[in-house]
Structure 1
Amino acid sequence: MPATLSAIYRYPLKSGQGQPLQSAVVTASGLAYDREWMIATPEGQYLTARTHPQLLQLKAEPSEDGVSLQAPGMPPIFAPHSALQQIHTANVWDDHFAARSGASEVNQWLSAYLEQSVILMWVGPESHRRIRRRPDVPINFSDGYPLLIIGEGSLAELNHRAGMNFEMLRFRPNLVIAGTEPFVEDSWQIIQIGDIRIELLKPCERCIITTLDPQTQEKLPKGEPLRTLAKFRRAGDGVIFGQNAMAHTFGQLHLGMPIKIIKSSSAG
C-alpha cells in the first residue's frame, strides 16, 4: 500500500481546537493560518493548554481580515486585523519577538472566558521569529517548528501497546500519513508531496497536553498516553511521537496525495 496524505489539520489559535481540512496551502512558516494567533498574559507570555486546558475548546476560524472566536458559554466574536495594530513583544519558549495586539473588546471576551487578564496576539508581518537551529526559517506561535508529521501506523502501534484508542487529534499533527509501518517516519529525512518538498528535522517531544481529551479536556488516568510512550519511545528525559518538519518548496496539499520518500536514514 503506497503512502498517502490521509489527514490535514491546522490550529489557528495556539492550543485551540484543531481543524480538519481537505486541502491546505503550505508556506515557509507552515500551513497557512496555522498558529497565527495566541492568547498571552498582558506582558506577552504565551498561554497553552498545559496550564489552561479550557483553551482546547476555543474555536478559531481565520480569514484574510482576522479571526472569529467561539467558546462554550460565550457569544462569538470577531477580531479584525485592523484592531490588532499595537506592536507587542511576544514570548514563546523564551523566543522574544515582535507581534501585534490591541483588540480590547476581544481581550475582555477572552479574559472573561479564562477568568484572568489576557490578550489576543497576532503574529503579524513584523515577526522575526525563526527556528533556532535553522535561522532562515520563519515560524509563527508554534512551540518550535512549522510542521508536525505523524504516521497512522505509529498511532495504531501506540494504541495496541496501550490497549486504548487514542485519537490522532490528541497529538496535534499537521500532516498524517497512511500506508506506512509504525514509526517509519523516524527514518525519513526528505519527502515530497506533489510539488512540496519537506525536510523532517527532529522527533517531537510530547507533553501533558496529550493526556487531555481534545473535546472534553478530561485527563486520562495513569498519565496515558505518556505512560505507554515512556516504555518504548523514551529520548533523554522525555518521550517522542511524531516528527517536526519544515517545507523547502510551497504550494497546496490535498487529501489522498501520494508521499514520495526522497531521502531516508536507512537509504544512507
Structure 2
Amino acid sequence: MFLSAIYRYPLKSGQAETLEASSVGALGLTGDRRWMVVREDNGQFLTQRAWPQMTQIGALHQHDGSLILQAPGMGALHVAVPGDEAPLRGVTLWRDLLQVPDAGEAAAAWLSALLGKALRLVHCPAQRARFLPSGYGSVDDRAAFPDGFPLLLIGQASLDELNRRIGRPMAMLRFRPNLVVEGAEAFAEDTWTRIRIGDTTLRVLKPSVRCILVTLDPASGARSPDKEPLTTLKTFRSHDGNVLFGQNLAADGEGVVARGMSVEVLG
C-alpha cells in the first residue's frame, strides 16, 4: 500500500490544494483548514452545504501561514495572519463556540462582494484550536476548523467500488480527503486502528459521516440531480442512520508525509 494523493484545504469549504508532501502535526496537515468564513451578524460558519458557490473560492496557503484568496471575476487578495492585536470574534462551528482572530476589513469586503452577504474571515491559531468531539482521541488532540477531526483518509479502492455501483465516476474531491491510499481492498480502512506513513504514526478515530455536500461537483459547484453519490452510499454504507465513507485520523507527534510513501497497518 502507498500514499497516492495528499490534499489540503486552507479555507474551510474552499478549493483543495494538491500536494506532493506535507508536514503533519497535532492539527493535521500544515495549513489545513486554518481559515473560515463566518456571517458578520452572528458568527455562524459558512459551508458548501448551503453555499455551493464556495466551491469556486481558491485559497492558497503561504509558507508564513498567510492566505491568497482567488475567485472568478475577483482580483486575488493576500491575507496576512492576524497579529496578537487583532480583535477576537465569537464564531459558531457546529456545537463549538470559539473566540478567534478576525482577519480584517479587506478580506471581509472581498468575501462579502463575492457571496453577496456581510461576512468575515477568521483564523485559528494553534493555541485556540478545539478539542475533538467527546469520546474520541486523546486529551492532547486538537482540530482547527474541520468539522471535527484533524485528518480524513479514504482508500482509492473504496471510491472505485462506489463508482462501480453508481455506474459513473465520482471525483475523490467530492469527499474532501487529506490522504488517499492505494493498494488496499475496498473499505479496508474500516478495519484499521493505527497506521504508519513514512515516519508518521496515525490513529484511526472513527468513520466519516457523509452529508449532502458530497453531491456537489467540486469543479462546478453543481449538485447532482440524482443526489449521487449519497443515494448509492445509503444502500450499502448506512449504520445507525448515518452514511459512512472514509476514516477520521489524528497524528501521534509530528512527521512528514509524501506521495508514494508506503502505508503500513500497525493495528
User: Is TM more than 0.5 here?
Assistant: yes
Structure 1 residue 102: Cα displacement: 4.2
Which residue is equivalent to 2:60?
61
User: Is the aligned partner of 1:248 residue 2:248?
Assistant: no
Which residue is equivalent to 2:169?
165
Distance 1:128 1:184 in 2: 31
Which residue is equivalent to 2:183?
179
User: Is the aligned partner of 1:204 residue 2:203?
Assistant: no
Question: What pairs with 1:103-182 in structure 2 (closer than 5 Å)?
Answer: 103-132=104-133, 133=135, 134=137, 135-182=139-186
- In 1, are the aligned partners of 2:44 and 2:91 still within 8 Å (CA)? yes
Distance 1:216 1:128 in 2: 31
Which runs of 5 or more residues in structure 2 are unaligned? Answer: none
Instruction: Name the SS for the 2:36 alignment partner.
Output: strand
Structure 1 residue 65: Cα displacement: 4.9
TM-score, with length taken from structure 2: 0.95
- In 2, are the aligned partners of 1:150 and 1:241 still within 8 Å (CA)? yes
TM-score, with length taken from structure 1: 0.94
Distance 2:103 2:21 in 1: 32
Structure 1 residue 105: Cα displacement: 1.4
Distance 2:93 2:213 in 1: 16
Instruction: Name the SS for the 2:128 alignment partner.
Output: coil
Instruction: Name the SS for the 1:76 alignment partner.
Output: strand
Structure 1 residue 124: Cα displacement: 2.0
Structure 1 residue 166: Cα displacement: 0.4
Change in CA separation of 1:76 and 1:188 when aligned onto 2, cut-off 3 Å? same
Structure 1 residue 136: Cα displacement: 2.2
Instruction: Name the SS for the 2:107 alignment partner.
Output: helix
Deviations 1:107-158 (A, max 9, x none): 0110010000000010024414110233421100000000000000000000
What amino acid sits opposite 1:56 in the alignment? T
- In 1, are the aligned partners of 2:31 and 2:65 still within 8 Å (CA)? no
- Aligned-residue identity in percent: 41
User: Is the aligned partner of 1:92 residue 2:93?
Assistant: yes
Deviations 1:43-70 (A, max 9, x none): 3211100000111110111221511100
Structure 1 residue 238: Cα displacement: 2.1
What amino acid sits opposite 1:16 in the alignment? G
- In 2, are the aligned partners of 1:37 and 1:120 still within 8 Å (CA)? yes
- In 1, are the aligned partners of 2:26 and 2:141 still within 8 Å (CA)? yes
Change in CA separation of 1:126 and 1:246 when aligned onto 2, cut-off 3 Å? closer
Deviations 1:168-227 (A, max 9, x none): 111100000001100000000000011110011111010111000001011112110000
User: Is the aligned partner of 1:7 residue 2:5?
Assistant: yes
Distance 1:74 1:213 in 2: 21
Distance 1:238 1:219 in 2: 20
Instruction: Name the SS for the 1:17 alignment partner.
Output: coil
Instruction: Name the SS for the 2:23 alignment partner.
Output: strand
- In 2, are the aligned partners of 1:98 and 1:126 still within 8 Å (CA)? no
User: Is the aligned partner of 1:74 residue 2:74?
Assistant: yes
User: Is the aligned partner of 1:261 residue 2:265?
Assistant: yes
**Aligned residues: CA RMSD:** 1.3
Pairs aligned (count): 261
Which of residues 15, 18, 41 is equivalent to 2:16? 18
Which runs of 5 or more residues in structure 1 are unaligned? Answer: 264-268
